[in-house]
Amino acid sequence: MSATRTFAIIKPDAVQNGHAGKIIAHLQDAGFAILGMKLTQISLPQARNFYAVHAERGFYGELVEFMSSGPSIVMALEAVGAVQKWRDTIGATDPAEAAEGTIRKLYAENKGRNAVHGSDSAENAAIEIAFFFAGTELVG
């Protein structure tokens, strides 16, 4: 089986709380290769565009405000079965429901400030990677 890609964000809460290095080590220990990574301040318009799929949901406004509230680290990752593997590595959205040893169980504050983002499909991973990275910014 060949390696595939997924997209991840270390969200402002985890960056602010000093967990970014631990999360990066965790994902590398889980077998992910980092193809691209950068520290960025997501603007409010970027956050609105990136999370537009959730625009009709009650948490949308809070989400875009939070995601534009401080620096984040965006990453393009690669592994066999990358999307599902990353979702398994990060755990449930609500850290209270996340499995022991997952990133969200270890580092998330609550359901809204849940430390990381992960693509939910290979198609969305490709869209999300392209949103933050030019093709020349990725290795591999």
Q: What DSSP element (H or E) covers 41?
A: strand 33-41
Question: Rounded CA gap, 49 and 100, in Å?
Answer: 33
Q: What b-and-e string marks burial along 14-27, b requiring 16 or more CB atoms within 10 Å of the CB?
A: bbeeebbeebbebb
Active site residue 19: no
Residue of 19, 26, 54, 117 marked active site: 117
CA distance 14 to 93: 14
Q: Does residue 140 contact residue 129 with C-beta atoms inside 8 Å?
A: no
Catalytic residues: 117
